[in-house]
């Protein structure tokens, strides 16, 4: 029994899935310019996968020599598109600018070189002393190196964004970031897994290795559709981006003023209970107090040793403990108490409470009954 038709079916199904996901991303009206690089990435991935498999399995074009491989210049767009998506999503810069076109230079150079210097089908190039196989090997190495570099930039931008959110909002968004980290990890795994496969194949390994890599790419696209897109992306779109709160190095706020702002903040926390609003943010609270967000952030950091999120959640946890221990506690469920204190979800409540007290809410409630 030949598995060739099954392999082709899986690979082309993955290709179609990629285009479908790209259309799905574009169909959403929320921040379309931010989502455009992601749609382009999914489409480019599908083009690369579909073209390679069509040339080898449908058109049956024979590769020039052992270790030859279908060159896919579009692969040089994977890294730039993923980076532009992560950058725009975290709002580290404008949605798009003319300078972003520079990211396409390697792709353009690869296309031009393939058109003008590589003669298809004869295993030689128009560059003296350079064979097609040598060109292909150099290209594959460059593509992998380029993507790993861009992946590191993506990781840095997302990590900085997630850390910045802790200074600007009291929401726990770790679950919302999970799909984005899954997307980056998936691409990283795909490229790392492709290195030994390509190394073997480009040094005369069996042709099935080329299809094994295509199968891996198809399965990755299916995984993206199952795990990385959907509600997680939409929730992350709602997470505030924008430039970071000004740092304190050049701040005019002296120690006495910082302490004064912090004492006023503590009074507001007791008097007005702003932590009970699950949407409270640094900017909102600073506006209520009539001070600048960066000054409030500095006052919290210097006088409590916490960022804004930790500071607000500390009050919420204390409120939960007070309600559990109070006489009215039997009339409420733990989730009712969590919402009353300002938490917006059960997972966030359980995670924050255990991190700050060393006990789950249920364990703490049980300890109060003894």
pLDDT of 65 higher than 50: no
Max mean pLDDT range (57-71, 181-195, 196-210, 277-291)? 277-291
Q: Average of pLDDT values for 301-328?
A: 86
Higher pLDDT, residue 125 or 320? 320
Q: What is the pLDDT of residue 10?
A: 77
- Burial class, 328, CB count within 10 angstroms (exposed 0-12 / middle 13-18 / buried 19+): exposed
- State the chain's maximal CA–CA distance in angstroms: 88
Q: Domains in the chain, please, with CATH?
A: 4-237 (1.20.1070), 255-368 (1.10.10.60)
Q: What is the pLDDT of residue 236?
A: 63
Q: What is the pLDDT of residue 125?
A: 47
170-174, 225-229, 282-286, 313-317, range with the lowest pLDDT: 225-229
pLDDT of 81 higher than 90: yes
pLDDT of 249 higher than 60: no
Q: At what angle do helices 105-117 and 132-166 cross, to 10 degrees?
A: 170
Q: Average of pLDDT values for 11-27?
A: 82
45-54, 125-134, 282-291, range with the lowest pLDDT: 125-134
72-86, 142-156, 157-171, 233-247, range with the lowest pLDDT: 233-247
pLDDT of 8 higher than 80: no
Average pLDDT along the chain: 77
Higher pLDDT, residue 141 or 96? 141
Q: What is the pLDDT of residue 35?
A: 82
pLDDT of 152 higher than 90: yes
- Contact of 285 with 146, CB cutoff 8 Å: no
Q: Average of pLDDT values for 279-301?
A: 88
Element (H, E) at 137: helix 132-166
Supply the pTM of this predicted model: 0.70
Confidence of residue 55 (pLDDT cuts 50, 70, 90): low
- CA separation, residue 15 to residues 12, 20, 51 (Å): 5, 9, 9
End-to-end CA distance of the chain: 69
Rg (CA), the chain: 27
Higher pLDDT, residue 93 or 350? 350
Higher pLDDT, residue 158 or 29? 158
Q: What is the pLDDT of residue 237?
A: 62
């Amino acid at each position: 029994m030949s598995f060739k038709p099954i392999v082709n079916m899986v690979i082309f199904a993955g290709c179609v899935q990629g285009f479908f996901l790209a259309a799905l991303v574009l169909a959403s009206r929320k921040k379309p310019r931010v989502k455009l690089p992601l749609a382009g990435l999914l489409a480019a991935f599908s083009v690369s996968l579909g073209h390679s498999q069509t040339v080898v399995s449908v058109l049956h074009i024979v590769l020039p020599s052992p270790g030859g491989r279908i060159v896919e210049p579009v692969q040089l767009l994977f890294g730039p598109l993923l980076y532009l998506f992560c950058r725009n999503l975290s709002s580290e810069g404008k949605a798009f600018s003319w300078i972003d076109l520079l990211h396409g230079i390697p792709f353009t150079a690869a296309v031009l070189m393939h058109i003008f210097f590589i003669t298809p089908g004869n295993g030689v190039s128009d560059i003296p002393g350079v064979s097609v196989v040598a060109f292909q090997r150099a290209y594959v190495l460059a593509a992998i190196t380029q993507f790993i570099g861009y992946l590191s930039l993506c990781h840095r931008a997302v990590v900085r964004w997630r850390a910045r959110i802790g200074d600007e909002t009291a929401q726990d968004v770790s679950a919302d970031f999970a799909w984005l980290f899954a997307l980056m990890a998936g691409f990283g795994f795909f490229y790392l897994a492709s290195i030994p496969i390509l190394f073997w194949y480009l040094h005369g390994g069996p042709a099935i290795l080329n299809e094994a890599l295509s199968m891996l790419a198809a399965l990755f696209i299916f995984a993206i559709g199952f795990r990385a897109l959907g509600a997680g992306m939409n929730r992350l779109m709602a997470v505030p981006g924008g430039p970071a709160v000004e740092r304190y190095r050049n701040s005019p706020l002296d120690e006495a003023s910082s302490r004064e702002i912090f004492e006023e903040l503590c009074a507001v926390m007791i008097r007005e209970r702003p932590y009970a609003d699950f949407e409270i943010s640094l900017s909102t609270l600073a506006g209520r107090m009539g001070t600048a967000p960066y000054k409030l952030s500095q006052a919290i950091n210097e006088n409590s040793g916490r960022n804004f999120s930790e500071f607000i959640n500390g009050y919420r946890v204390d409120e939960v403990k007070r309600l559990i221990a109070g006489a009215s506690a039997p009339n409420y469920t733990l989730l009712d108490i969590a919402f009353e204190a300002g938490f917006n979800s059960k997972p966030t409540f359980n995670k924050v409470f255990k991190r700050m007290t060393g006990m789950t809410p249920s364990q703490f409630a049980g300890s109060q009954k003894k």
